[in-house]
Amino acid sequence: MEFTEKKIVQVFSELAEANRILAGITSLMDRQPPVCWMITSAAWGEGKTTLTAGLGLLAARSGDKRVLAIDMNWYSPGLHPCFGLTPAWDLQQYAQDKNLIGRIRPSGIPHLDVLTAPVLKESGENSGAEYAGLAREILNQARQMYDVLLVDTASVFPANRRMTDPVVIGSACDATIMVVLTGVTPRQQVKQAQVRLESSGAKVAGVVVNNWKSRM
Ligand SMILES: Nc1ncnc2c1ncn2[C@@H]1O[C@H](COP(=O)(O)OP(=O)(O)OP(=O)(O)O)[C@@H](O)[C@H]1O
Ligand SMILES: [Mg+2]
């Protein structure tokens, strides 16, 4: 589904604590820019990508911050259709030229840019460690160029053997937001995800409750 700005705002309005989180990001940013926040969840389909797009949109609206939304859910990317984009860059080429700016695309919304997921070739091409190193390098480079980084990731469960696992990326971000789809994900699983993230160095700053009731 292609998101328009209107659609993002409509969906975002149902995320109960989004504005509070945004206020937290803004106050942190005023003290210590740039700010890099990872968005994850215990299980898939809880609203991570929707929240990332929505937070990006709201953060960019202030007009005085450069905002970059990054899709690090490399094996199941979902951020690009939110902005009518298609993944088009190659991770191997990036590993050689380290040209991040050439791979960042405008979102169509002022002050908000997007780094889609790369187009990955056959599995086994890189080790998890190589992917982790490249992901950290991307975040470090992006910090030089933007005030706010919002990093969309995979869910914590089922455990992901790849580097795109949020458990690996989380320690490279300043803070982590967990999205919880109410009435769907068991409380115990949310707690387990939090423990996994924190034991690997991620700082879980808060939970965003998504009250969305899927008709599926
Ligand atoms: N609050 C909401 N209101 C309406 N639709 C929503 C809401 N939250 C999520 N959705 C819808 O639920 C679906 C899953 O949301 P989304 O892609 O953001 O989840 P995700 O956590 O990123 O999923 P994945 O784990 O597959 O990456 C999407 O179709 C999205 O439009
Ligand atoms: Mg997603």
- Per-residue pLDDT of 30-85, as tens digits, reads 667 778 999 999 999 999 999 899 889 888 887 888 999 999 999 899 999 999 99
Q: Give the count of beta carbons closer than 10 Å to the beta carbon of residue 13.
A: 11
Dihedral, 139, 10, 42, 114 alpha carbons, nearest 10: -20
Task: Confirm whether 188 is domain-assigned.
Answer: yes
Task: Confirm whether 59 is domain-assigned.
Answer: yes
- Residue 46 CA to ligand 1 centre (angstroms): 6
Residues constituting the chain:
216
Task: Confirm whether 216 is domain-assigned.
Answer: no
Output the pTM of the full model: 0.91
pLDDT of residue 215: 47
Mean pLDDT of the 20-25 span: 71
- Residue 50 CA to ligand 2 centre (angstroms): 7
> Which atom of ligand 1 lies at the shortest distance from residue 1's CA?
29
Task: Confirm whether 168 is domain-assigned.
Answer: yes
Domain count, the chain: 1
Residue ID of nearest Cα to ligand 1 atom 5: 11
Pocket of ligand 1 (CB under 6 A): 11, 14-15, 41, 44-50, 73, 76, 78, 155, 210, 212
Task: Confirm whether 215 is domain-assigned.
Answer: no
Q: How far apart are the first and last CA of the chain?
A: 15
Among 6, 49, 72, 157, which is best to mutate for testing ligand 1, by the most ligand atoms less than 8 A from CB? 49
Task: Confirm whether 66 is domain-assigned.
Answer: yes
Higher pLDDT among residues 189 and 20, named by residue: 189
Res. 10: pLDDT tops 90: no
- Residue 196 CA to ligand 2 centre (angstroms): 19
pLDDT tens-digit readout, 101-155: 999 999 999 999 999 999 987 655 566 778 888 999 999 999 999 999 999 999 9
Query: Taking phi first (over 0 means left), then psi (-120 to 50 degrees means alpha), and beta for anything else, what does residue 20 get?
Result: alpha
User: Encoding tokens for residue 76?
Assistant: 């199941």
Most confident of 33-42, 147-156, 160-169, 205-214: 147-156
Task: Confirm whether 103 is domain-assigned.
Answer: yes
Instruction: Domain of residue 115: give its range.
Output: 5-210
pLDDT of residue 61: 83
Task: Confirm whether 127 is domain-assigned.
Answer: yes
Question: Residue 159 maps to which CATH number?
Answer: 3.40.50.300
Query: What value, to the nearest 5°, has the Cα angle with vertex 140 and ends 136 and 143?
Result: 140
